[in-house]
Copies of this chain bind each other. A is one copy, B any other.
Amino acid sequence: MSSAALDGTMPSDPDLAARGARQQQRSRQLLDAAARVMEREGSQAVSMQAVAAEAEVSVGLIYRYFGGKHELLLAVILNVLEDFATTVPAAVEAVGDDPVDRLVAAFRAYCEVIDRHRHATVLTYRESKSLDEAGRARIKQLEVETTQPLVQVLREGIDAGALRPVDPEMVAYNLLLVAHAWALKHWYFERTLGFEDYVRNQVSLALHGLVEPRQRRRYARLLSAS
Contact = CB atoms under 8 A, between A and B. Distances in A.
Interface of A: 43-45, 125-126, 128-130, 136, 140, 144, 164, 166-167, 169-171, 173-174, 177-178, 181, 184-185, 187-189, 192-193, 201-202, 205-206, 208-210, 213, 225
A-B pairs, top 3 by smallest CB distance, nearest first, are A209-B209, A208-B209, A43-B129
A contacts with B: majority SS? helix
A208 B210 contact: yes
B177 A173 contact: no
Contacts of A185: 173, 177
24 contacts: A43-B128, A43-B129, A43-B136, A125-B125, A125-B126, A125-B184, A126-B126, A126-B129, A140-B188, A166-B205, A166-B225, A170-B192, A170-B193, A171-B205, A173-B181, A174-B181, A174-B205, A177-B178, A177-B181, A177-B184, A206-B209, A208-B208, A208-B209, A209-B209
Nearest to A198: B170
A167 B174 CA distance: 18
A174 to B, nearest CB: 7
Given A45-B129, A225-B166, A188 B209 contact: no
Contacts of A45: 129-130
Contact of A208 (B164, B167, B201, B202): B164
Contacts of A209: 205-206, 208-210
Given A128-B43, A178-B177, A185-B177, A169 B192 contact: yes
Given A125-B126, A177-B181, 9 more contacts: A140-B187, A144-B188, A170-B192, A170-B201, A170-B202, A177-B178, A205-B209, A208-B208, A209-B209
A171 B140 CA distance: 27
Contacts of A187: 140
Contact of A188 (B128, B173, B189): B173
A17 to B, nearest CB: 41
A140 B144 CA distance: 29
A213 B213 CA distance: 9
A34 B170 CA distance: 32
